[in-house]
Amino acid sequence: MDIFLQQIVNGLVLGSIYALVALGYTMVYGILGLINFAHGDIVMIGALVALSVAQALAGSVLPGPAVLLVAALTATLVCVTLGVTIERAAYRPLRRAPRLAPLITAIGVSILLQYSAALVWGKQYLSMPELVKPGTVALGGAQFTELQAFIFVLACAVMAGLLWFIKASRLGRAMRATAQNAEIAGLMGVNIDRVIAFTFLLGSAVGAIAGVMIVLYYGIGHYFMGFMLGLKAFTAAVLGGIGNVAGAMLGGLLLGVIESLASGYIGDLTGGVLGSNYRDIFAFLVLILVLVFRPTGILGQHTGDRA
Amino acid sequence: MNPRPFRSIALVLAAALAASCARDDSAVKIGSASPLTGSQAHIGIDIRNGVQLAIEDLNAVGTEIGGRKVTFRLIAEDDEANPTKATTVAQKLADAKVVAVVGHFNSGASIPASRIYSDAGIPQISPSSTNPKYTQQGFKTTFRVVAHDDQQGPTLGRFAIEKLKAKSIAVVDDSTAYGQGLADAFSATVKARGARIVAREHTTDKDTDFMAILTKIKGRRPDLVMFGGIDPQAGPMVKQLAELGIQARFIGGDGMQTPNFIKLAGAAAEGVMASIPGLPKEQMPGGNAFMAKYRAKFKAEVELFAPMGYDAVMVFVDAMKRAGSTEPAKFLPELGKTRYQGVIGPIAFDEKGDLKDGPITIYVVKGGKWEPLETVIPGAEKPTRPPMKKST
């Protein structure tokens, strides 16, 4: 039983990272109807920037948590700039183009980011210096580190803050209005360009936080790390109902738990035919099942021609 | 047509040929093939120097084969670490009528060249190629004096049972040919020796999240975790193992015996063990004497494979002595029966031409550095414990 509990804890930590990344996909989709395939790579850039800053400052007089804060802020700044620039340069000119054009552009931007990162950081795996030595906490048979707890709590806080922001703030209302009907919202005095740019800013900032969490948690960074992460987060967004912010969070956590349980028990269930190296199958099996049986996802409403 | 001029020309040619043979009557040619130019030149020249040293030693003492005094001559060729060039060089050596070849350095060069040597009936000993395929082509002429990649797993397994006293073991691999091969060989060995495999898990060579597998492993309470794979996975895995509070020791192969592993695993790397084929050169039986001799001759330090190159020549000559002939066809059958005590240790071949019981050194992370822990000679009675360097 404690093993089962441990797998759930593992899944929730993994899932909260997926959820943060999924938010970036779902917000952009909600407003533009665009699947921003470059989002996973923005997260990658955030992770590698944080890693480089941490490496540069690790031996200095600054204490570990301060270095972490500087690294996180730098990563957020770079990602936000990058996200807004990509929107301005690559997606805005194509806003009225056929739907396929921005989608393919997004894939192009993704590849551009990956190989630019390969040029800057090289193709080898990079290691994150250990900034803080987390202690471990035991809870009812499951064991987790303070870092895992921190990741989960921070992710929940970010998600709650984002929900509140979209629900209650003026800009959040503008975002919802734009999502419903951009043209009418524009006629009502909403500055569409600004709202869309802000959506990218918000998604990139949350993505940067996810990137920092990943390098902190796994201690490793790589120019290609955003690819699979992006696909998983996209799956999470679809699972929760793409375009729905709360759905992305739910989908992320759920996908994390499904993956964790699947890779923990697949070997026993299939009698050793399939091993845990096949765990990605489950993520994408979920994607296919959702698309076939409930294309709108768990929390998604029917979005007409958008889905 | 008058046949006389033709006959006289033939006569002159025959005489010239006889004369040239007379000059080189007793010089037996031994080929050396390795990269002598390019980015791997330092390693290739090192091998050639080892071969040269062996030939000079043999000529200095005067070697008798079949009751006849024999001198040896080195023909060194440059394969540029290039598989295509390697076949050209191999043909050149075969045309030069060398009786044996020491080479090549790279597995990628040794494998294509081996067909040419096999066709020409020339025995070949690679001092350094570790790809298992090299000796699996069915050629009678291919040998090597270095442990190959498939020998590491059983050695690790034996080490785990005999030294670490492991009873229940979890085995993880990265689903690659290297990782899975190593892990399977390890599993078979430890199972045969009575340990229980409590978990057999697979990940991929791209993953960095192993929490789910490790949690499962935690539930089985192993006293040892073995990983077949490379450092980008091994590093985070060791870290996550510590996070989950798993007390088991951790062991792996040469893919993770890198400085990078220690960086990736951080503090959790301490105490992790991994193996690499071969002895550290300071610990070879004839290592120090050889290094002194090498230094005196070449005014340089041994890079890597010079001792293997040296021993390869000695193994050839040993077989020639037993066969009483320098003809490849005569001494090749003896080569397989080699029992030779070389610089690198005891040399014997199995039926495929692989080094039997090639030594494998197990390293442990101590104070943030890989330190040789002990050398296992697979199949030997007792592993030898090399003198450990003092570390603070």
The answer to whether the CB atoms of A220 and B200 lie below 8 A apart is: no
Alpha carbon distance B52, B371 (integer Å): 32
The answer to whether the CB atoms of B264 and A276 lie below 8 A apart is: no
- Alpha carbons within 13 angstroms on the beta-carbon side of residue B341 total 2
Q: What is the pLDDT of residue B16?
A: 54
B68-105 pLDDT, tens digit per residue, is 889 999 999 999 888 999 999 999 999 999 999 998 98
Query: Phi, psi (5° rounding) for residue A119?
Result: -70, -40
Q: What is the pLDDT of residue A193?
A: 93
Q: What is the pLDDT of residue B383?
A: 41
Same domain, B157 and B221: yes
Contacts with B239 from chain A: Cβ below 8 Å: 218-219
Band (pLDDT 50/70/90 cuts) for residue B120 is very high
Interface of B with A (CB under 8 A): 175, 199-204, 206-209, 211-213, 215-216, 218-219, 231-232, 235-236, 239, 243-245, 260, 263-264, 266-267
Mean pLDDT along residues B313-324: 94
Hey, what amino acid is at B181?
G
Q: What is the pLDDT of residue B175?
A: 84
**pLDDT cut 90: percent of chain B above it:** 53
Band (pLDDT 50/70/90 cuts) for residue B9 is low
Given a cut of 90, is residue B290 above it in pLDDT?
yes
Domain presence at residue B156: yes
The answer to whether the CB atoms of B212 and A7 lie below 8 A apart is: yes
Same domain, B25 and B121: yes
Given a cut of 60, is residue B17 above it in pLDDT?
no
Band (pLDDT 50/70/90 cuts) for residue B107 is confident
Domain presence at residue B386: no
A57-101 pLDDT, tens digit per residue, is 987 788 888 999 999 999 999 999 999 999 999 999 998 899 899
CA of A34 vs chain B CAs: smallest distance (Å): 28
Contacts with A259 from chain B: Cβ below 8 Å: 212
Q: What is the pLDDT of residue B284?
A: 86
- Alpha carbons within 13 angstroms on the beta-carbon side of residue B232 total 15
Domain presence at residue B92: yes
The answer to whether the CB atoms of B235 and A220 lie below 8 A apart is: yes
Same domain, B136 and B213: no
Alpha carbon distance B342, B311 (integer Å): 6
Same domain, B34 and B128: yes
Mean pLDDT along residues B316-320: 95
Contacts with B212 from chain A: Cβ below 8 Å: 7, 10-11, 259-264, 276, 279
The answer to whether the CB atoms of A264 and B216 lie below 8 A apart is: yes
Q: What is the pLDDT of residue A80?
A: 97
Nearest CA in chain B to A141: B219
A239-283 pLDDT, tens digit per residue, is 999 888 899 999 999 999 999 998 888 877 777 677 777 888 888
The answer to whether the CB atoms of B264 and A219 lie below 8 A apart is: yes
Alpha carbon distance A151, A13 (integer Å): 7
Same domain, B115 and B259: no
Same domain, B78 and B133: yes
Contacts with B211 from chain A: Cβ below 8 Å: 10, 13-14, 260
Same domain, B183 and B228: yes
DSSP string, A6-69: HHHHHHHHHHHHHHHHHHHHHHHHHHH----TTHHHHHHHHHHHHHHHHHHHTTSSS-HHHHHH
Q: B245-265 as b/e, with b when 16 or more CB fall inside 10 Å?
A: ebebbbbbbbbbbbebbbbbb
Q: Which residue has 């948690």 as its token pair? A: A217
Q: What is the pLDDT of residue A112?
A: 96
Mention every residue, 6+ apart, whose C-beta is less than 8 A from residue A96: none
Which range of residues forms the domain containing residue B199?
150-277+359-376
Q: What is the pLDDT of residue A136?
A: 80
B160-197 pLDDT, tens digit per residue, is 999 999 999 999 998 877 788 889 989 999 999 999 99
DSSP annotation of B355 reads B
- Cβ(A4)–Cβ(A221) under 8 Å? no
The answer to whether the CB atoms of B202 and A260 lie below 8 A apart is: no
- Low-confidence residues of chain A: pLDDT under 50: 304-307
CATH number at residue B219: 3.40.50.2300
Predicted TM-score of the model (pTM): 0.73
Candidates B197, B201, B211, B220, partner chain A, best to mutate (most A CBs within 10 A): B211
Inter-axis angle of helices B211-220 and B231-243, to 10 degrees? Answer: 60
The answer to whether the CB atoms of B239 and A14 lie below 8 A apart is: no
Q: What is the pLDDT of residue B2?
A: 52
CATH for the stretch A2-306:
1.10.3470
Q: What is the pLDDT of residue A256?
A: 94
Contacts with B213 from chain A: Cβ below 8 Å: 263-264, 276
Contacts with A6 from chain B: Cβ below 8 Å: 215, 218-219, 244
Q: What is the pLDDT of residue B190?
A: 94
CA distances from B267 to A131, A133, B118, B176, B246 (A): 12, 10, 50, 27, 15
Q: What is the pLDDT of residue B5?
A: 56
Domain presence at residue B391: no
CA of B227 vs chain A CAs: smallest distance (Å): 14
The answer to whether the CB atoms of B244 and A6 lie below 8 A apart is: yes
Nearest to A267 among B201, B204, B235 (CB): B201
Q: What is the pLDDT of residue B26?
A: 63
Given a cut of 80, is residue B217 above it in pLDDT?
yes
The answer to whether the CB atoms of B208 and A14 lie below 8 A apart is: no
Band (pLDDT 50/70/90 cuts) for residue B6 is low
Count structural domains, chain B.
2
Contacts with A129 from chain B: Cβ below 8 Å: 266
Candidates A125, A224, A270, partner chain B, best to mutate (most B CBs within 10 A): A125
The answer to whether the CB atoms of B200 and A272 lie below 8 A apart is: yes
Nearest CA in chain B to A148: B243
Grouping H, G, I as helix, E, B as strand and the rest as coil, residue B168 is strand
The answer to whether the CB atoms of A220 and B267 lie below 8 A apart is: no
Q: A95-115 as b/e, with b when 16 or more CB fall inside 10 Å?
A: eeeeeeebbebbeebbeebbe
Q: Which two tokens stand for residue A12?
A: 């929730």
Band (pLDDT 50/70/90 cuts) for residue B25 is low
B245-285 pLDDT, tens digit per residue, is 888 999 998 878 877 888 888 889 999 999 888 888 778 88
Mean pLDDT, chain B, whole residue set: 86
The answer to whether the CB atoms of B267 and A10 lie below 8 A apart is: no
